[in-house]
Structure formats: structure tokens, C-alpha cells
Structure 1
Amino acid sequence: MLPICLLNFKTLPLPQSASNILISLLGVAGIPLPRFISCVAVLIPSIAAIANNDVEVTRFTQLHPKHASHRYYNLSRFNPAQSQAISNPPPQQKPTHTDAPNHYIGHNVSRKDKNKYLLSTLLDLNDTKEAIYGALDAWVAWEQNFPIASLKLILNALEKQQQWHRVVQVIKWMLSKGQGNTMGTYGQLIRALDMDHRVEEAHKFWQTKIDTDLHSVPWQLCHLMISVYYRNNMLDDLVRLFKGLEAFDRKPRDKTIIKKVANAYEMLGLHQEKERVLKKYSNLFTEEGSIKKARRNSSEKKLKR
């Protein structure tokens, strides 16, 4: 192909009369000759490419003159394969459902049946941490929320059957999941450890989780730990715990606590401390103190309701 600068009507395969007519038309239309030559230079290779791909050119000549120049300009970008893809788009494939269904496994099973199934499973499994933890993991795998309420019911059922070792395993699994971090759960674990003859483990758990907050630990939980120490003859730990509570000016609410503390002081040979405690909390042993205790318990029950 000739360069644009050398392209003129003498090189074009047109008759002389046709060349004169074309020049006259360009003059009337006001189209500069160099611009027309540039358009022709772009048009010639595009037409050749279209002809090689067996694409009809006639449909481009049927355009309105107003849009013809734009169509000719875009001929150099024309791709027959793209045109065929546009005219015959591939059929849309149906999306494959890879997402998990909205409902979870066992959606139609009642909560009561699920709890009963887990309870029977825990009782039938081998007494290993891996087996118990695996069963609990599988049980909660498809739950939308952590079933803390159901687990509390199961723990109560295990306690009624005196399955203390299972209670310890379930609570420890809950704590490993970051669930059940309440004083009620801690007390349930300490009681189960004590009944499972693991008092040293209960003592370590108390020191790690509870002993640093003696200013706010409920008296019910403190009484439980004092009873554990008293029953297992851990008198030094009992006295130390009671002194820690006194340091925060915590007032015991039950005379049975004072009796155990006084007996511990006596068995340790600390008779003066025994007398001090009995004198300081003597109001708990009087009828007036018992009435105040009953009123306090009734008010606490109303608050819980």
C-alpha cells in the first residue's frame, strides 16, 4: 500500500471522468482533499480484511450518510468472531448451588430430643477427653447459636445421675470455647471436682479464676469453697480465704460458715481467733439474726423473679 502522502487519484483505479466528478463533489461538500485521502487509506485495508473473512460489505453501504463515516472508521476494529458471539450468545448456565442450605442438620428434630440424644451419647462414650470433646463439637457444629441453655439442662441431668466426671468434662469444654464464664458455672465445676475427688484441681481453679475477685464473689460460692476446704481438711486454705473476705469487710450471711471457721481455728490451735469470730458474728446465732437472714433471703428471691 502507498503511503498517505503519495496517494492521489492517479494511483487509484478510477476512470478520468470519475476522478473529475469525485473532485467536484468534494469541492461542493467542503471536504478537504487530504482528509478524504486519509479516510481512503484507512478504508482500503479494512475492506480487504472483511473480504478475506467472507463478511458482507453491502450492509455497511446501506447506512445513512450521516453515520457512514463513523461506521467506516470502526471497520478497522471489526472482528467477525466477536460479531458472531454477539449475535449468537452462549446459553446461560444454571448456577450451581455450592452454598450450605439455610437450615442446619436436624432442623426438624425438637430441642428436647437433641438434648436427650447428647445425654445418652455422653453416657455411652469412652471416658476420654478426645471422645467427649468430639461428640460435643459435632453436636453444636450446625447450631446457629451456642446452645448454652441446653447444655445447662444436660449438666443438671448429669448431676442428678452423679456423673461428676462427665460434668467436669462438659464444663471444661464449654470454657475452652469461651462460653459459660459465670460464677454459677464456676461453682458447678468446683462442686463436681470435689465430688470427683479432685479437690486439688478445684483449689487451683479457685485461685486462678475467683480468688482475685473476693470483693465481688457471691457468698454462696464462697460458702461452697469453705465447705470444700472444711470437708477435705484443708484448714489453712479455709482460714486464708475467710481472712481475705474479712479484708474486704464482707459480712457472712450464714451461721454455718462461722461454725466451720471457728472449728478450723480450734483445730489449728488458734483459740483466740475462734473467740474473736464467734463474738464478732454472734448476731447470726440469735433469733433476731435469723429473722434478718430470712427477710434477706426472701428479698433476694423477689429480685431473682
Structure 2
Amino acid sequence: MWKSPAISYLVGHLTQLGVIRAQVLSSSYSTVSQAQVYNLREGKAVVSSEDQHHNQVNSRIPEKNAGGENRNQIRWNVSRKDKINFLVKTLLNLNDSKEDVYGTLDGWVAWEQDFPIGKLRIALIALEKEQQWHRIIQVIKWMVSKGQGTTMGTYGQLIRALDMDQRPEEAHKFWQKKIGMDLHAVPWQLCKSMISMYYRNNMLENLVKLFEGLEAFDRKPPQKSIVRKVADAYEILGRLEKKERVLEKYNYLFTEDRSRKKPKNALSKEKKKLV
């Protein structure tokens, strides 16, 4: 019976941890169809699929273990944190193979009743701390292929990972395909990330096109750093009139009336007086 290296790796490490004993019965690397799940520390087990018929026959007479729990209620007794940590460590130790990564993720989610989007997001944050940008890209692309994680937050994380992995052209294509067609609703933080990426990689035509697209929806930049990058791009491209227009239009970001803002120490004094 053929087993994917990724699934064998996953099952092998779970077995070493004393968590499961599993049989991979499908010829597809993405399916774990029958398994026995154990918590050795508690001496509990979820019965295998071979025993399901017997359990159904005797379902009217709940069998209890020494701890008073019904056998049918016993599940994989592993904490959420341990599951996430295990996945992160497994992903960090895998070879740079799409098949291995996808197979591992498929095997991991096979133990969940619902798609564990929350756990995967925590795992992605952990991978970010390790600066595993290439692995983050693989995980998010796998999620999207499953129809999951199709949110601006996940897309932004993918854009950032592609940028850090020095793949700006791929990030640009993804932006055009999934995000850029709906500029009136894209969060400014995500737009700022794209403008910064274009600026760092000298993709200035794309930068000014994005900014002008946002202006077409009457969306005003929230920070002067964005205006500076746009003005610099216009100058490098030789469009000095547009540079001056932008600087003049958003001049208020550079000349904020500081008198309207009271210093923090003044505010604290006022609070003390009220007390």
C-alpha cells in the first residue's frame, strides 16, 4: 500500500508522541480514512471504524469506562495549543515540497470535524515569528485551494509574505486577480502595504496607478508617508505637475494644527484637577 512521505511523517510523529495509531487506506496523499485515536496518559481510546457497527448495535446501553465516561463521548484528548504547536514544528521540519506540505496539512485537518481556520491562523502567526515566508505562502495557497481563508486579512498576509520572500511580481499578479478590482472596499492598510512594496521594488507605474485608482473613489490617504512615496514616484517618472498636485492636495497631512492637540502631560493635569 503506497503512502505519501508527508502522511507517513505526520502519522509517525503523532505515534511517537503517544497520540495516535493510524492506518492510511486511501491511495490519495490527502486522505486518512480510518484511524484509532489514543490518549495513553488517560488510558482512553476512540474505537476504530471496524468496531463502529458493534457500537451502533449497543448504543442503547452506554458503556462506561473506569472514569464514568461513555465510550461514545471519548474523543482525541489533545489540547488546542498542542495541536497547533505540533503542526508548526512539523511544517518547519518538512522539505521544500508542495506535495509534502499539502499532504501534511490534509492529514492534519482530517482529524477535525470542521475546517480549523482559527488554529491555522495562529499557526501562520507562529511561522511569521520564525520568518518562514515561503512556508506561509504554501499554507495560505493551500487554504485558498480549499475555499478557506478568502479574507482581506489572509490576502494581506500572503502579500506581505510574497514581498518578504522577494516575489513582488507574483504579489502584483495576485493583487490584480483577487484584490485590485475592488478598490473602494480594500482597507487602507493593505493598500499601504502594496504601495510600499511597489516603492521598494521600483514598480513605480504600478504604484501611481494604484494611488490614482484609490483617488477615483475619493479615498484620501490617511498618512503622509503614503503621499511622500507617491510624490517621489511622480518625480522619478518625470511627472512633476502631478507631484505638485498631490503635495498641495494633501498638504494638511504635513501641516497639522498642533495647537488643537493638547500635550499628554496637560491632559493628565486636567484629569487630576477633576479628581
The bucket for the TM-score relative to the shorter chain is 0.5 to 0.7
Identical pairs, percent: 68
Could you tell me how far apart the structure 1 residues matched to 2:199 and 2:72 are? 53
Equivalent in the alignment of 2:171 = 202
Answering whether residue 107 of structure 2 is matched by residue 138 of structure 1, we say yes
Q: Is the 8 A contact 1:122 1:166 kept in 2?
A: yes
Letter in 2 for 1:264: A
* 1:104 to 1:191, Cα distance in 2 relative to 1, 3 A: farther
Letter in 1 for 2:173: K
Could you tell me how far apart the structure 2 residues matched to 1:234 and 1:290 are? 39
Flag the structure with higher strand content.
Answer: 2
Q: Secondary structure at the match of 2:115?
A: coil
* 1:214 to 1:133, Cα distance in 2 relative to 1, 3 A: same
Q: Is the 8 A contact 1:283 1:289 kept in 2?
A: no
Deviation at 1:103, TM superposition (A): 6.5
Residue of structure 2 aligned with 1:263, choices 232, 235, 240: 232
Bigger CA radius of gyration: 1
Answering whether residue 50 of structure 2 is matched by residue 97 of structure 1, we say no
Letter in 2 for 1:181: T
Deviation at 1:104, TM superposition (A): 8.6
Letter in 1 for 2:255: T
Answering whether residue 237 of structure 2 is matched by residue 280 of structure 1, we say no
Equivalent in the alignment of 2:119 = 150
Could you tell me how far apart the structure 2 residues matched to 1:213 and 1:157 are? 30
Q: Secondary structure at the match of 2:53?
A: coil
**1:238-253 counterparts in 2 under 5 A?**
238-253=207-222
Could you tell me how far apart the structure 2 residues matched to 1:290 and 1:282 are? 17
Deviation at 1:204, TM superposition (A): 0.3
Equivalent in the alignment of 1:109 = 78
Residue of structure 2 aligned with 1:187, choices 130, 146, 156: 156
**Higher RCO (CA 8 Å, separation ≥ 6 residues):** 2
Could you tell me how far apart the structure 2 residues matched to 1:291 and 1:238 are? 33
Could you tell me how far apart the structure 1 residues matched to 2:184 and 2:72 are? 47
Deviations 1:64-112 (A, max 9, x none): xxxxxxxxxxxxxxxxxxxxxxxxxxxxxxx93388x96697x101111
Equivalent in the alignment of 1:56 = none
* 1:228 to 1:287, Cα distance in 2 relative to 1, 3 A: same
Q: Secondary structure at the match of 1:123?
A: helix
Deviations 1:136-165 (A, max 9, x none): 000000201111111111101111111000
Residue of structure 2 aligned with 1:165, choices 128, 134, 138: 134
**Structure 2, unpaired ranges of 5+:** 1-51, 57-70, 262-275
TM-score w.r.t. the length of structure 1 is: 0.61
* 1:244 to 1:289, Cα distance in 2 relative to 1, 3 A: farther
TM-score w.r.t. the length of structure 2 is: 0.68
Equivalent in the alignment of 2:188 = 219
Letter in 1 for 2:109: V
**Structure 1, unpaired ranges of 5+:** 1-94, 293-305
Residue of structure 1 aligned with 2:223, choices 234, 254, 267: 254
Deviation at 1:288, TM superposition (A): 3.0
